[in-house]
Amino acid sequence: MKHFITLKDLPNFKAAVDLAKSLKQSPYEFEAQGKRKTLGLLFFNPSLRTRLSSQKAAQQLGFSTMVMNFSNEAWALEFEDGTQMRGIRSEHVREAAAVVSQYCDMVAIRAFASLTDKAQDEAEIVLNSFTKYADIPVINMESATGHPLQALADALTLEEHKTLHRPKVVLTWAPHPKALPHAVGNSFTKMMEYQDAEYVITNPEGYDLDKNITKGIPVIHNQEEALKGADFVYAKNWCSYSQYGQILRTDNAWTLTEEKMALTNNAKFMHCLPVRRNIVVTDGVLDSPNSLVIEQANNRTFAAQAVLKTLLDHA
């Protein structure tokens, strides 16, 4: 594995989940493997879980870490080639990526979708520029279109909590006051391709995810119908994909409530966090014993550690 940009980069998905599971039991087993290596973490957007869990994962493998917030600490980067750099962008990604490669052995990057220009977001300019101009492995810590570290952690959480051979897993859209990207829903859906499960997506009309990602998966526009018999319910907001970046509804009719969870097969509740209480999901669901959200966050460390170790193994 040269880079970790999507789940497809993993040489073997099941082996990666098994590795994450075993690292959770024995986090320091490979502490010597990253000794005298440095992981750079570059953030173009905020983070709590990804930032801390990736650092912890790296430290448990013996790495040193360097963290930089590009939103307020670094020179603003230019990504366009051949441009006269007269504006506020002081440094070209060609030099920045090459320079980071001198200090770091791997670089992890978070760069969200703008949600204003679908074509530009789908071109994944930040991540692709770094893979092009850095000569070290690049790790996706959530890009415009995907959040594979979250999806790998979610796979570990499903594995740990499933009691049926073939559970029903429902990804439900939920309301949110801000326009949010599609990355988590996209990667969770790609991850479900590796699961033996009945997988259903439910969202209001106008909120269907990219059909290239949901191809072959039932998309139901009636939330209560979709939730019936579910063993896992994963709630997440995303803005409209067809009317790119738009919020089409502001009501709370799709908030996940205790009454809706009563339609399920005593389902476990999942969310990647951060979550808006009593908008995305009620306190009662979030604070119930069936809520897995803290365990999902815990599993972020071991998912990241599995990815770092796999990159080291294939260096």
Give residues in contact with ligand CP (CB under 6 A): 47-50, 142, 150, 272-274
Cβ proximity to ligand CP, 226 vs 293, nearer residue: 293
Cβ(161)–Cβ(167) under 8 Å? no
- Measured from the CB of residue 142, what is the shortest distance to ligand CP in angstroms? 6
The structure tokens listed for 91 are: 């440094």
The C-alpha atoms of residue 226 and residue 203 are separated, in whole angstroms, by: 9
- Measured from the CB of residue 51, what is the shortest distance to ligand CP in angstroms? 6
HEC readout, 142-178: CCCCCCHHHHHHHHHHHHHHCCCCCCEEEEEECCCCC
Burial class (CB in 10 A: 0-12, 13-18, 19+), 11: exposed
DSSP 8-class letter at 256: B
- Measured from the CB of residue 17, what is the shortest distance to ligand CP in angstroms? 18
The residue of the chain with the least Cβ separation from ligand CP equals 50
Cβ(258)–Cβ(241) under 8 Å? no
Cβ proximity to ligand CP, 48 vs 262, nearer residue: 48
Cβ proximity to ligand CP, 190 vs 249, nearer residue: 190
Cβ proximity to ligand CP, 78 vs 142, nearer residue: 142
- According to DSSP, the residues that pair with 277 across neighbouring strands are 281
- Measured from the CB of residue 234, what is the shortest distance to ligand CP in angstroms? 12
The C-alpha atoms of residue 247 and residue 91 are separated, in whole angstroms, by: 34
- Measured from the CB of residue 25, what is the shortest distance to ligand CP in angstroms? 23
The C-alpha atoms of residue 158 and residue 194 are separated, in whole angstroms, by: 12
Q: How distant, in Å, are the alpha carbons of 18, 132, 200, 250 from that of 12?
A: 10, 24, 24, 41
- Measured from the CB of residue 135, what is the shortest distance to ligand CP in angstroms? 27
Cβ proximity to ligand CP, 156 vs 226, nearer residue: 156
Cβ proximity to ligand CP, 226 vs 303, nearer residue: 303
The C-alpha atoms of residue 162 and residue 168 are separated, in whole angstroms, by: 10
CA pseudo-torsion sign 170, 173, 174, 178: positive
Cβ proximity to ligand CP, 105 vs 142, nearer residue: 142
- Measured from the CB of residue 49, what is the shortest distance to ligand CP in angstroms? 4
- Measured from the CB of residue 252, what is the shortest distance to ligand CP in angstroms? 22
Cβ proximity to ligand CP, 47 vs 257, nearer residue: 47
